[in-house]
Amino acid sequence: MKSYNPILFDLDGTLTDPGEGIRNSVAHALQYYGIQMSTAELNRFIGPPLAEGFREFCGFSAGQAAEAVEHYREYYREKGMLENRVYDGIPELLAHLRGAGKVLAVATSKPEVFARQILHHYGLDGNFQVIAGSELDGSRSKKHEVAAYALSQCPLPADGRAVLVGDRRHDVEGARQAGIDAVGVTFGYGSEEELLSAGAPAIAHSVAELEQILLSIY
C-alpha cells in the first residue's frame, strides 16, 4: 500500500489565484507593442512559461518574447506579484498534509525568486520543505525540468509515490515527463476538458476533494 508522498504543488492557479496581477502585467507588456487583449485572452498566460505564452499567443519571435518578459516584469515586480490571493481552504489543506507526514514542495515555472516572495507574503512558505522555480534568465522553466529539480531536493519516502498538483495541461504533461503522477484541479485556470485531454489520471474540483485524493492509499 502506498500514498502520495512527496507532493509537489504548482503555484499559480493551484495555491493562489494570480489572475489580476498576471493580466495587468501582460497588458502592460503588450502596450509596448500596441496590442490589446480581452480578459479571456490574457488568462491564457496563466500557467505556461511566460516566454512560451508570448510566442504562442502573440506570434513573437524568441527575441521579442524575451523582450516582452522584461516589460512584463516592470509591472510585475512593482505591483502585479501581490495582486494575488490564496485560494480558500489551501492553508488548512497544507496543514493537514503536513500533519499526515507528507513532504511538500512547490514546483512552478515562475521565477523562484518571485515564488519565494509570494509564498512568504501570504505566510505559506513554512509549509514547504522545497520551493523550486525557474531562473530569471528563463532556464529551468519547463514544468518537467522544475519538477525534476524539486524532486532532487526532496527527501523521498520509500513507501510513497511523488505527485504533482496543478491546474493546466503543462502540469500534467510535465509530471508525466518527470515520471511522476499528476492530479489536476479545476478551481484554477484550466478546464476539466484540458486536464483530461492532457491525460490527468485524477481531477479535483475543490480543495476538499483534492485533500481526499492526496490522503488516499492505493
Active site residues: 10
Question: What does the chain look like in DSSP terms, one character per residue?
Answer: --EEEEEEE-SBTTTEE-HHHHHHHHHHHHHTTT----HHHHHTTSSS-HHHHHHHHH---HHHHHHHHHHHHHHHHHTGGGS-EEPTTHHHHHHHHHHTT--EEEEEEEEHHHHHHHHHHTT-GGG-SEEEEE-TTSTT-SHHHHHHHHHHHS---TTEEEEEEESSHHHHHHHHHHT-EEEEESSSSS-HHHHHHTT-S-EESSHHHHHHHHT-B-
The grid coordinates listed for 129 are 520543505
CA–CA dist 46, 189 (Å, integer): 7
**Residue 205 phi, psi dihedral angles, 5° rounding:** -100, -5
**Beta-carbon count within 10 A of 31 CB:** 12
**Beta-carbon count within 10 A of 211 CB:** 18
